[in-house]
Amino acid sequence: MKHQQYETWILLDTELDQDQHRDLQVHLKQCSQCQSLHLATHQIAHLFKNSPIPEPNPGFSTRWMTRMEKVENRKNRLILGTTISVISIATLLLLSSVGIQIRAGIAYFPQLMLEMITLVAKWIIFLNQLRDIVSPLFRVGMKLISPVWLYTLGFSLSGITGAWMLSLIKSRTIQRELHS
């Protein structure tokens, strides 16, 4: 005897048409295995409907929120520590490279500082302009532009950045030649 169809009807607990319902009732009268399954599913459904909803232990919410705050604080401390470490290492590298530059040309210290401040200002201006250009493009582009165009844009911006860097290097070289 095939039970698959009847087991499916019993387990899915779907609405059956009159013919299916009659077939199931006839089969249940003849098959003890399907009768047991039918009885078990109805008992389980009855238990779920009539069982009380368990309440959490007193103070559960408070303990949970405290634990989440501790996890969040730990995560924030890790992020802060990593950020401070990276900034410290970058500052040490910058100071050491500036120190080497200063030691090499102590007579040109004011000029070097002016060049460095100018270079940093140019970088900041460039990055702000780049952000002003790129951020709207990303917002709109992610929705409207195909990936091929996004790659093209990325390569174009890389080319512009490379050309800008080359022009800076070239201008510094010309400035040094003029001062020599």
Same domain, 98 and 124: no
The Cβ of residue 115 has, within 10 Å, a number of other Cβ atoms equal to 15
Same domain, 172 and 112: yes
Query: What is the pLDDT at residue 137?
Result: 72
CA distance 83 to 86: 5
Same domain, 100 and 129: no
Mean pLDDT for each 10-residue chunk of the chain (180 residues)?
Answer: 75 80 84 86 84 84 91 91 90 78 66 84 90 80 72 87 90 82
Query: What is the pLDDT at residue 121?
Result: 92
Structure-token pair, residue 86: 């990276």
Structure-token pair, residue 142: 């992610």
User: Residue 138 belongs to what domain range?
Assistant: 106-180
Same domain, 66 and 20: no
Model pTM score = 0.32
Same domain, 99 and 130: no
Same domain, 39 and 23: yes
* Structural domain total, the chain: 3
125 in any annotated domain: yes
Same domain, 27 and 90: no
Residues with Cβ within 8 Å of 19's Cβ and at least 6 positions away in sequence, in order, are none
Same domain, 138 and 177: yes
130 in any annotated domain: yes
148 in any annotated domain: yes
Query: What is the pLDDT at residue 71?
Result: 92
Query: Can you say whether the dihedral through the CA atoms of 87, 92, 96, 102 is positive or negative?
Result: positive
64 in any annotated domain: yes
Same domain, 146 and 179: yes
55 in any annotated domain: no
Query: What is the pLDDT at residue 68?
Result: 92
Same domain, 99 and 168: no
Query: What is the pLDDT at residue 158?
Result: 92
